[in-house]
Chain A
Amino acid sequence: MSELLSFGFMRQALAAAILVGLLCSAVSFFVVLKRLSFLGAGISHTALGGMAIGLVFGVNPILTGCLFAVGAAMAAGSISRIGKLSEDTVIGIFYASGMALGIALISTFKGYYPELFSLLFGNILAVSTQELLIIAGALVLILLFFTLFFKELLAICFDEEMAMAGGLPVRALYLGLLAAMGLAVMVSVQLVGAVLVAALIVIPGATGYRLCANYRGMLAVSLVTGLLGSVGGLVLSYFYPVPPGAAIVLILTVLFAASLLLRRRLGVSKQDK
């Protein structure tokens, strides 16, 4: 382990893993409670269009991807409500359109983009200090939003109609939640890539949901799962020839599978008996 930390790039990668693990598991808590899992997965693919804009025009693709992902998440939420469509339907359209835009833009310009592969499948070992700062900034922003409006966000996840009748700014909070999700997805792309990032924003929350009958426990389990997955995957990939992104997702999957077994053995809920 000390050998692992003796490399500067590994220390950098470990910091990124901790930050993204915390960020995604906090977002995952709300994604699962508000049933936004497919929206999260779709946003990562939609954002490919934004990342392609950055690559082609020489701007940091994570930054352009962030703007695109946040915009797409909020637009999907708004369009689904205005157009009376489910978020899944709208994101199904955005999903393909964003990827098509990305492919079209990249194919317009000649040359090879090695970054494209890492954006699709992640390359945490190449995380730069600038990218680390972007992730840390996103973490601070999102945690601040969650901390300030935690009880209200929980209320709109539980019963939106009641929250609306109580006078809470439901639409603004919902759009804020979507923006947080879009931002978290994009800054996590460096870790596991656009293809696998859905696992990071779904599995920690789903594991907590399976194991706990109270949101406090669910949040704690979600955070622990996210950290175990991201740091564990990085460490595993150091000792074995497995790409970090895949290792992180596989560890998360094992943790979720374990939660299924634990739940059944413990019989936490009457409804599972």
Chain B
Amino acid sequence: MEAVISVDNLAVILDGKAVLKKISFTVNTGEIAGIIGPNGAGKTTLFRALLGLVPLHAGTIKILGVPPHRIKEVRRRIGYMPQNQSFERRFPLSVADVVAMGLLSPESLLRPTGDCRERVAAALKSVGMEKYGVRPFQELSGGEQQRILLARSLVRNPTLLLLDEPTSGLDFPAQQQFYEMLLRLRRERDLTVLLISHDLLSVASVADTLICINRTMHVHGHPGEVMQSPGLKEAYRCQFDLLRQTGRAEESER
């Protein structure tokens, strides 16, 4: 399988502080890879490094075959969904306006937007929100807003999706719906997905591989292996046994 993302010995220093060091992993075509780690582990910085938004101190990154400083060559093939606190929830936009913002790029500067209704409608349909185009974005629930932001990241028909905590703030059913939709989209659109999540159990259930970091690389592999790995406990600097907790839940169900 072809590597869509390859990161080798990456180090990022911001304001004199090593935010990331010795990070290495690959994500292959069609995979869903989950990035996990405690708060402040540098997960979002890793995304920013992939997108060329922060300078690399050491190491190399290749995303869709190009290094981050040439990201503009492949930007149209990347869909990005930032953390949900990056936007103002009560912003006066319609749902279609929010999705259409995903079409903005340096190439669209000083040019009329043109008719993007079909692309917006297709993106909304793919997340099951085709009837919501004219609705005010501010009046949607948190789960619905997340779907719209996912539609925004899909509007350019990307081959790679970067999702930064897409289910944070959602209740359990909304999280499950979101992940089911993600699996369907991966199947329908041949997407490769890299997603950050704090919810270890949920992400382990949908991801093909997990990458656990805490400033540095701790463990990378199949979710089953990662969840039992001592590297996971090292990264979180605490003693816990997720599998045992899951087992207890199953026992009580019986």
Contact = CB atoms under 8 A, between A and B. Distances in A.
The listed residue with most A CB atoms (<10 A of its CB), out of B75, B92, B152, is: B92
Interface stretch (A61-69, A111-119, A154-162, A244-252): A154-162
A33 interface: yes
Interface stretch (A10-18, A177-185, A211-219): A211-219
B75 A167 contact: yes
B104 A166 contact: yes
Interface stretch (B16-24, B93-101, B119-127, B209-217): B93-101
A218 B106 CA distance: 27
Contacts of A215: 91-93, 97
Given A213-B139, A214-B136, A162 B110 contact: no
Given A159-B82, A269-B138, A165 B87 contact: no
Contacts of B250: none
B104 A168 contact: yes
Interface in B119-153: 136, 138-139, 152
A269 B137 CA distance: 11
A157 B86 CA distance: 10
Interface residues of B, number: 32
B184 interface: no
B86 A162 contact: yes
Given A165-B80, A166-B75, A160 B91 contact: no
Nearest to A212: B92
B81 to A, nearest CB: 8
Given A169-B106, A271-B90, A162 B101 contact: yes
Contacts of A158: 87-88, 91, 93, 98, 101
Interface in A28-59: 33
Given A214-B136, A269-B139, A270-B139, A163 B93 contact: no
A146 interface: no
B105 A213 contact: no
A164 interface: yes
Nearest to A163: B104
A212 B92 CA distance: 7
A152 interface: yes
A32 to B, nearest CB: 10
B92 A214 contact: yes
Interface string B46-68: 00000101000000000000000
18 contacts: A148-B110, A155-B104, A157-B91, A158-B93, A158-B101, A159-B101, A162-B80, A162-B101, A162-B152, A164-B53, A165-B82, A167-B72, A167-B105, A168-B105, A213-B138, A215-B91, A218-B92, A271-B90
Given A149-B110, A161-B83, A169-B106, 14 more contacts: A151-B104, A152-B104, A157-B91, A158-B88, A158-B98, A162-B82, A162-B101, A165-B82, A166-B104, A167-B75, A168-B109, A213-B136, A214-B97, A269-B136
Interface of A: 33, 84, 148-149, 151-152, 154-155, 157-169, 209, 212-215, 217-218, 269-271
Interface of B: 15, 51, 53, 71-72, 75, 80, 82-83, 86-88, 90-94, 97-98, 101-102, 104-106, 108-110, 113, 136, 138-139, 152
